Structure 1
Amino acid sequence: MAATQAPATTRWQWALAGVTALGLAVAAALAAYAEAHPGDGQALLTLWFSGMLQMKAWFTTAALVLVVVQVLSALAMWGRLPGVRGEPPASVALLHRWSGAVAFVLTLPVAFQCVWSLGFEDEPARVLVHSVAGCLFYGAFAAKMLALRLPRLPSAVVPVLGALVATLLVVVWFSSAFWFFTQPGFARV
């Protein structure tokens, strides 16, 4: 019996190693590109906002609100939402999928501005934390998306990666949008 379990265990370990390697590779590639392309600070895209920082702060805030929806819907799907009993309706899974997709899409113009216009910065410490967390966010997101498609991974992998994605977006938000909104003299829109 132990001989038949060993290959299955080895498979999920290799799958988990692959998920981890993909996540780290995506994060490292973003960081390397941002470091190699320091940017000139010029806004490429502001949409209807008065500047690049305003657009980035508001889009990241909108993504953060959707991440709260993500966490609550995930807790409901996994039967961990306090006060809720029984099987959640199918609409919860649909809400989870679409709120995640929209949140991710909202982060793309923000990341593009960060990587292309600003580059990877290491000073001050807040900006270093922001740069690292932003790169890790996309790596964790890629790892989670791959983990969703791989069979036989331990059941905790997807929730842990989801929590990591949510946590990293919170760190990105606090190290950028929150900082921006608390600065005196910055235009809010």
Structure 2
Amino acid sequence: MSERAAPPRTRPWLILVPLLIGAAVSVALGVFGSVHEPAGEVPWQRPFPSIYAMKVWFSLGVLLLAAVQLCTALWMYGKLGLRPRPWLGPVHRTSGFLAFLVSLPVAAACLWALGFQTYDARVLTHGILGTMFYGAFVAKVLVLHSRRLPGWALPAVAGLLLATVVGAIASSALWYIATYGLPR
């Protein structure tokens, strides 16, 4: 007779560990953006007419991939009333990886070329949410690989990640489009 190993006991308070590590990442990025002398431009903006055009278009790509992330997560968790499909997991993981990858040139342009700015509430909000996005990403990866956290931890941290990326994009790219139109 074989005995099964008991499932690991969950410890809800352990959610603080990935959240604190994520917060440290967010603060470190904000401090870097604050103390670094802004360069004003980045080499990868070249195909675009301005750094702002590059940031808007890449951010729209991230927003689209975040929507794919949300839809596939809801589908996998059975919240859409649709039968799970075997391709959902790979699509979810790939869209998340691509969203992170596409966000990197935007974040690097923000932190390297423009710095962490505080001259008005919208810009400050964007900077805080932008740095929080990477902290929330780190927290999500840590929660994803933990066996000691309760089942609600992953959707909660994933929701935080989604909220920060949508907030960062709403306070920058969507604001830019509403104010100036789509960049050409």
Tell me the TM-score normalized by structure 2. Answer: 0.90
Inter-partner Cα distance in structure 2 for 1:8 and 1:142: 23
C-alpha displacement of 1:179: 1.5
Inter-partner Cα distance in structure 1 for 2:42 and 2:85: 43
Equivalent positions of 1:49-88 (< 5 A) are 49-81=48-80, 83-84=81-82, 86=83, 88=84
2:177 corresponds to which of 148, 173, 181: 181
1:105 corresponds to which of 83, 101, 108: 101
Q: Is structure 2 residue 149 aligned with structure 1 residue 150?
A: no
- Look up the SS of the partner of 1:154 in the other structure: coil
Inter-partner Cα distance in structure 1 for 2:64 and 2:159: 15
Q: Is structure 2 residue 171 aligned with structure 1 residue 172?
A: no
Percent identity of paired positions between Structure 1 and Structure 2: 37
C-alpha displacement of 1:133: 0.1
- Look up the SS of the partner of 1:90 in the other structure: coil
Can you give the 5+ residue segments of structure 2 that lack an aligned partner in the other structure?
1-7
Letter in 1 for 2:110: C
Inter-partner Cα distance in structure 2 for 1:71 and 1:187: 25
Q: Cα distance 1:78–1:116, how it changes in 2: closer, same or farther (>3 A)? A: same
Q: Which runs of 4+ in 1 moved over 3 A?
A: none
Inter-partner Cα distance in structure 2 for 1:120 and 1:138: 14
- 2:122 paired residue number: 126
- List per-residue Cα deviations over 1:72-121 (Å, max 9, x = no partner): 0000111111x42x4x1120111100001001100000000101111111
Alpha carbons 1:33, 1:115 under 8 Å: kept: yes
Inter-partner Cα distance in structure 1 for 2:155 and 2:48: 35
Q: Cα distance 1:17–1:187, how it changes in 2: closer, same or farther (>3 A)? A: closer
- 2:3 paired residue number: none
- Look up the SS of the partner of 2:47 in the other structure: coil
- The count of residues paired between Structure 1 and Structure 2 equals 177
Alpha carbons 1:43, 1:51 under 8 Å: kept: no
- 2:40 paired residue number: 41
- Look up the SS of the partner of 2:60 in the other structure: helix
Letter in 1 for 2:35: A
Superposition RMSD in Å:
1.7
Q: Is structure 2 residue 114 aligned with structure 1 residue 115?
A: no
Inter-partner Cα distance in structure 1 for 2:139 and 2:156: 11
Inter-partner Cα distance in structure 2 for 1:158 and 1:108: 23
C-alpha displacement of 1:163: 1.1
- 1:141 paired residue number: 137
Letter in 2 for 1:30: L
C-alpha displacement of 1:57: 0.5
Residue range with higher mean Cα deviation, 99-108 or 46-55: 46-55
- Look up the SS of the partner of 1:175 in the other structure: helix
Letter in 1 for 2:86: A
Inter-partner Cα distance in structure 2 for 1:59 and 1:175: 14
- Look up the SS of the partner of 2:32 in the other structure: helix
